[in-house]
Structures are given as structure tokens and as C-alpha cells.
Chain A
Amino acid sequence: MVGREPPRQRGTAAATVRGGPRGLLAVRLPAAGRAGGAAIAAACAALALMAAAALLAPWLTAHDPVATDTSAVSLPPGTPGHPLGTDALGRDLAARMLFGARSSLLVGVVAGAATVVLGTLLGGLAAVAPRPVDALITRTADALLALPLVLVAMAIAAVAGSSFGTVVAAIAATAWMPVALIARAEVGALRERPFVRAARGLGLSRTRVLTRHLLPGALPPIAAIAAFEVGHAVLTESTLSFLGIGVPANRPSWGGLLADARSQMLSGQWYAVAVPAAAIVAAIIAVNVLATAFDRHAAAAGRTW
């Protein structure tokens, strides 16, 4: 019967909730060596290109990304004046991709940063706070991890209405848990180390020990996961926009472009779907490759004690 998803295997569902990323987000750097180096260079180049496209969008295209042109609808890529073609309302797809990069990457970076800050603060707090606060934070994190997070993000976005702020909040509110758990573990381990004990012994306040010694010491592993969080945020933003509850509908974003193009799939305009989808995939793979490299670098730098 069309319209019903086959039931997902229980084991897989549990594994994805507990066992880290899946699908696109699970893409990692190839084995170290020349291939790894090339991958890092390519990832850097791709991200730099995308960032440049986003920053320079108004100068890179003559078209207004929301202006319709009823005399130039559904043009294929390669049409003079419209390198990527136009959508069903005659909006230039190249302009929409460029301005869409602004929305998608901005949300990705801001939401990724918000996730990391929120997660680090909550995790650090859990590690040094009295037991009930620790329990509250870790149980909340566990409970959230057990939920399908896109559903939670959808609920937040649907209730609060679509805006950049809501999307960032929805992503941060549903992605802080892994960061918090890592931060908590790191800070917890650091607390017992001699230099921290020495700092306490010298009479430094709890807050000062936390901000001066504990959190900075926990940063390297958090930094590695931070990059993954950016990739996650880009994907979540696309998902929410695709579902119509992400960035406002009249502002182009990659996920929104996908949603717009969905209806054109059946009429053979595959490129309208392929272009934004390729951009999302490329951005996430590039971010993940860099994150893996950073992770390995941190490990190689002797983050073992």
C-alpha cells in the first residue's frame, strides 16, 4: 500500500538514537595518508567556495532571488542569463542557490555554535553542580536522546512560527545532549587531576576553577564534535525548511528549494531537486571530513593521559 512506511527495525532505531550519527552525518574522513590529505583540501575548498558564495551572493548574480518572472518559467540549466535555469514561477535558481547558501550556512554555523555553547555550559554545570542538578541535566539529555529529534524540532518550530531564531533555537534545543554528555565526562575527569586540585588548594573559587581550568581543558574533544554539530544543523535546517517550518518560506534556503522543487520531479525537471540536494550533501560531507581530521589531529596531539 502506498503511503505507509515500512516499520523501521527496532534494533536500527535504537542504534541510531544511542549510537551516534547515521546516513549523511556518518560520513568520515578516509583512512589517513594521501587520500586523507586530498580529502581535507577538497573539503576546505568546498566550504570556502560555499562561504564565498554566501557572502558575495548579491554581487555574484544580477537576479533578485524572490522576484518572479512570468515570461521565463521552468527554464532548463544553461539558459542564457539563467545558468541553473528557473523555477516554476520564473525565479532564477542560481540566485536562489546563492542566497539560499546564506540562510542554510548561517543557520548551520549559528545553530552549531549555539548547540556547542549550550551543551558545554550544561555539561560543565552537571559535572560541578550538586548531585540533583547533575541528575536533572543528564536525565533530561537521556530523555531527549530517546525521542526522534526531528519531531521535537518540528514541534518547536511549528509552535513558535517560522523564523531564523526559532530554527536556531529548535536545533540547539534538540542537539545539545551529546555535547553536554562529553563536556560532563571531560570536566568530571579533569576535576580529579592534580593541577585542578592545586588550583582549588590555592584558594580559587569554584566558578574561576570551572571557567579558567575545567572548561578550557575540556575544549579539544568538544571542538571536534562542534564541527559535526554544524553539519547536523545544516541538515536539520534543510529538513525543517523542506517541511515548511524552517526559515520563512519567502526566503530561499536549500531545504526550501528542495521543497519547492518536489512538485516538479514528476515533470522531469530533476535538476531543480538535484542542485540544492547536491549542495546540502557536499556541505555536510565537507564539514564531516574536516571534523574527522580535527578529531584525529587532537588525538595525535596527545590528548591522552
Chain B
Amino acid sequence: MSEQRRSSRIRPWAAAAAGAAVLAAAAGCTGGASDDGAGASLTYALGDEPEQLNPVLVDEHLDPVTEMVFRGLTAHDADNRIVPSLAESWDVGDGGRTYNFTLRDDVTWHDGAEFGADDVVFTVREVRDGGLPTSHKFAGVEKVTAPDDRTVVIELAEPAPALLDSLSNGILPEHLLADKGIDDPEFGRAPVGTGPFRLERWEHREYAELRAFADYHEGPPGLDEVVVAYVPDAATRLIRLRNGEVDAASLEPRQAAQAAQAAGDDGTRLAVYPTADYRGILFNMADGMFDDPAPRRAMNHAVDREAVVTTVLHGYGAPASGPLDRSAFHTGGDGYGFDPDRVESIMADAGYRRNGDGIWTGDDGPVEFELTTFAEDGLRAAMIEVLATQLREQGFDVTAEPTPRDSVDWAEVQAFLIGWGTPYDPDGSLYGPFHSTEALGKGGSNYGSYANKKVDGALDRGRRTGGTEERRDAYADLQRELVDDPPYVWVSYLDAVNAVPADLEGPRERTLAHHGYGFFWNVHDWTRAD
């Protein structure tokens, strides 16, 4: 039944690409896809669907719908620098321990209520105390107060430069959630935010329909309607795009080449943006077999990253040299590159010899291990096949063995093709994966249980020092140390490939987040020419 309803609704949107006259006619006979009959709409097919549309429940993986519905105190511009959003200005005092925010006075919630300082206080406090995936962002907040309705004061135990970044996460309405709690599942299904689009309806596993919010504080958005259709299978997304059932879609690299050929003929164009989302081979340090850094260093020279990018990513990506390549804190100069001679010299100098099969052998026997990853992720599964072959060719006996996501036991993994990275403040995507206090055994996301005192020190300085220069030094130290004692073999960064209608104006290139999220960052500026 719902399937039926959906088909009758989506077809008019597809027709919008063909012309407003067609849309008006179709809208007339289906009860109206948009109220004024000639509104510009966009239907976007996406693979991942969140369980709930609540920004406090997701760290790093903010899906487009949540992104469009909510706004934070701050936002990121095209260069991922912090800019004002719901807060129009702020000043920092007490050596980076006190933040004074002045809020905009023209912001309303989608239900018509007025946005105010109480909402900010409520959100920060509830997130900090709520034991949520985002709680760590506000862990250092000692006090958050609202001296008046347009002012919020946040006091920290110690400087936390990532705070402005954390406050780009959506603010939630106190008047709706004070009683039910900030993680109310009902709210997660029917969210109310202050963003440029409000959620009209959400059919789980099918689509989310968003309408322009006329009272958006930066003015009404250029599009009247955005529909996000959830289509897990990439091949199906491309077919739906070809059939005109959707007019934009997130594509996989291997499809991008085909889509690029068709672009123009089918009225679409490709928007290819870099992301900070990297893939790297994690070594399980708890295993003991990777204690010696020499093989890890050598393996960083044993993989041909260019070949991986060309074949697996079809050119939609770039070789990775570390976790900060796409960050403002990148210092480079690491010298990783495909270099069989370096592999030979590093391994030979460390006392390894090739055995009869050509495999590097040390005191503990040959270097052999299983490289696994999530089997459902076709890109990662293909990458480990290529990486295993490349490593075998350089004398490391690596077997590629993809594992279904639910069967992955991190404690048992020997090596894993993992993905991290953020285009925003680096702390969020570094501290968890590499700090020894975040090790797997302690419940953290340092799944490889990597422990290096110098790395810990650099991460602590990066997290707690106020000045940009000091942070730059800290992260430069970090990057040097990660080359010397590599926790991963960094492989590649991914590009996000989206097909959009040729007449869509407004999408602007920005380094996007994990899975290419953030594509809709300036959606209120988007318009369609038709």
C-alpha cells in the first residue's frame, strides 16, 4: 500500500526534470506533489538510512536529512572553517575556558516556537549528561548558563578548541523534549529543527520528504522540496537515476565512470568532491605479532596506493599518507610511497630474511596474517584483495578474508581495513582511534589497541591547548610519530561522487565527511533552473 502511494508521488518529481507543465498536470491528478504546483524539487537516492533523525545520536555520520532539518550554533564554510550559524557572534575568554555566545534573534523552530538560549543550554547539558554517542564532545563543559534569552555562556574545565566545532551539531528544542528526554525515539522519527527544510514525512526504508521552511533565518530556500529516497543497492540507484525515478543519486566509484559517459544525455552531471574519509590497514597490536615497527613501516612502502586508487576507486580518490591529509593541520613530508627497495632495506636492516617461499621471516617466524574487512562493503572487500596481492608480492604472506559486519570480533582481528577521518576539527577523529586510553579493552574505538606515549602526548596537547600554533605543533609531532611507529598502513582517501540534475545550481565543493556526508551543507542556496 505504501509502495503504491510512493510510486504515485515519485513520478511527478521525476517529471519535474522534464518540465514544469508536465509537473503541474501530474501534480493535478495525484493530489499535488507540491502546494503551488510549480515548485522546484529534488529527489536524491542514497544508500544509508539512519535509524533516527536526531543529531545528538550520531557522531561523524550526520545524514543529509538530519543535516537539512537541524542547525547548530556554528557551521562550516566551503573551506570547513567555523562560521556563525544560530550564534551570530562569540568571544572567548579566561585563556580559552569561557565562551560567550550571542544568538540570532530571528530563528524559529519548524513548529513555530521561538528559538532561544534555553534550547542551547538544554541541548549542551543533556548531551553532556546523557551518555550519548556525542556526549564526549561536551565532556569538558563545567557550566552552561543563559544570562538572557540571547546569550549563552559555556565554561570549561580546561581549554577545548574543538568546542566550536562540536557546537555545529544540531541544537534541539527544549519545549518539545524537556519532559521526554533528548533521545526521545518519537522525536527521532518526527524531528523539529531550525534548518532550511522541515521533515514532512518519513517512510522508513523508503524515503524522507522534506519541504522548504519559509521562516528559515537565512531566507526561504531555493528548492521547495527535497526527497531523499533510500536505495541500499548502488546498481539500483543508478538504474533509478537512468529511469528518471530519482534525479540525483550517490554513486559508487565504479559507477561514476559509466554515469560520466551518460551525463549530458540523461540530463545529469557529476559532482565529485574530495572527502576526509580514508581507508587504512589497522594492525591489532594486542596480538603481539606486530610489536616490531619495522614490518609495519615496510608495509607502508609495500602497497602501491596509486594502483589501488586507479583500479578499485576508478580514479575517484587519492593516495593517503596519514590521518590528516585533508585537514588544515596536515604537515606532510612523511615520505611514504610505493618503494620495493625501501621494503627490502627496512626488513633486512631489522634482521628479517626471506624464506624459501620468499616470505619475510624473523625470529618469530614468517610475517603472515589475515587481512579482513566488512564483507558488505564492496569497495573495502575489493581493496583488501588488491592489498593482499601487493603485500604478498613484497614478501608479506597476507590473506584477504572479508567478514560479515555482524561477525567481526575486534579482539580476534589480526589486520582490518578500517575507515576514519574528518574534515572538521581533527581531535574528533584522532583521539578515539589512536589514544591508548581509548583502547578496545577499555571500551574505546582504538580497535587495534595501539599505544604510543608520544602519540598520547601529542593528542592530549592537541585536545587541550587553546592556541592554533600550539595545536599545529602538537599535530605535527603526532604525524611524525605516526610515520615512525605506524598504527596503520594508510591507503587512500575517497572521493564522494554524486549525480545531480544538470539544471541544479548551488552545490559547492567542500571536503566532505565520512561516506561523503555533508554534501547538502549549503542546500538552502540550491535552485533549479527549470
Contact = CB atoms under 8 A, between A and B. Distances in A.
Interface of A: 1-4, 66-71, 73, 88-91, 158, 161-162, 244-245, 248-250, 262-263, 265-267
B236 A90 contact: no
A71 B390 CA distance: 12
B310 A66 contact: no
B153 interface: no
Contact of A2 (B236, B307, B308, B375): B236
Interface in B387-443: 388-390, 392, 399-402, 404, 407
A263 to B, nearest CB: 6
Given A2-B240, A68-B389, A88-B254, A263 B401 contact: no
Interface string B369-394: 00000011010011001101110100
A255 to B, nearest CB: 15
B386 A244 contact: no
A192 B287 CA distance: 65
Per DSSP, are chain A's interface residues mostly helix, strand or loop, or mixed? loop
B311 A90 contact: yes
B235 interface: yes
18 contacts: A1-B6, A66-B400, A67-B392, A70-B310, A89-B311, A89-B382, A89-B385, A91-B385, A244-B376, A245-B404, A249-B381, A249-B401, A250-B401, A263-B234, A265-B235, A266-B235, A266-B239, A266-B255
A1 B3 contact: yes
A161 B381 contact: no
Interface size class of B (residues with CB under 8 A): 35 or more
Contact of B401 (A4, A67, A248): A248
A263 B254 contact: yes
Contact of B382 (A1, A4, A88, A158): A88
Interface of B: 3-4, 6-7, 231, 234-236, 238-240, 243, 245, 254-255, 257-258, 304, 307-308, 310-312, 375-376, 378, 381-382, 385-386, 388-390, 392, 399-402, 404, 407
B384 to A, nearest CB: 8
A263 B236 contact: no
B392 A70 contact: no
A68 B386 contact: yes
Given A3-B236, A262-B235, A70 B378 contact: no
A263 B311 contact: no
Closest 8 CB pairs of A and B: A70-B307, A1-B7, A68-B389, A70-B311, A68-B386, A249-B402, A67-B389, A250-B400
A161 B409 CA distance: 13
Per DSSP, are chain B's interface residues mostly helix, strand or loop, or mixed? helix
A2 B243 contact: yes
Nearest to A3: B236
A2 B238 CA distance: 12
- Counting chain B CB atoms within 10 Å of each CB, the highest count among A3, A73, A158 belongs to A3
Given A67-B392, A266-B235, A161 B243 contact: no
A290 to B, nearest CB: 36
Contacts of B245: 2
A73 B308 CA distance: 12
A209 to B, nearest CB: 47
B3 A161 contact: no
B297 to A, nearest CB: 23
B304 A70 contact: yes
Nearest to A249: B402
Contacts of B404: 158, 161-162, 244-245
A249 B375 contact: yes
A161 B254 contact: no
B506 to A, nearest CB: 29
B261 to A, nearest CB: 9
B73 to A, nearest CB: 40
B268 to A, nearest CB: 15
A66 B385 contact: yes
- Counting chain A CB atoms within 10 Å of each CB, the highest count among B254, B311, B381 belongs to B311
Contacts of A161: 404, 407
B403 to A, nearest CB: 8
A265 B307 CA distance: 23
B480 to A, nearest CB: 30
Contact of B238 (A4, A69, A266): A266
Given A89-B385, A244-B375, A250 B402 contact: yes
A267 B304 CA distance: 26
Contacts of A250: 385, 399-402
Given A161-B407, A250-B399, 13 more contacts: A2-B243, A2-B245, A68-B385, A70-B311, A161-B404, A244-B375, A244-B404, A249-B401, A263-B234, A263-B235, A265-B235, A266-B238, A266-B258
Contacts of B240: 2
Contacts of B376: 244
A67 B393 CA distance: 10
Contact of B239 (A2, A162, A249): A2
Contacts of B231: 3
Nearest to B387: A68
Contacts of B4: 1
Nearest to B308: A70
Contacts of A71: 307
Contacts of A245: 404
A265 to B, nearest CB: 8
A69 B236 CA distance: 28
A241 to B, nearest CB: 12
A250 B258 CA distance: 26
Nearest to A158: B404
Nearest to B309: A70
Nearest to A160: B407
A247 to B, nearest CB: 12
A2 B229 CA distance: 13
Nearest to B7: A1
A207 B379 CA distance: 57
Contacts of A263: 234-235, 254, 378
Nearest to A268: B258
A90 B258 CA distance: 19
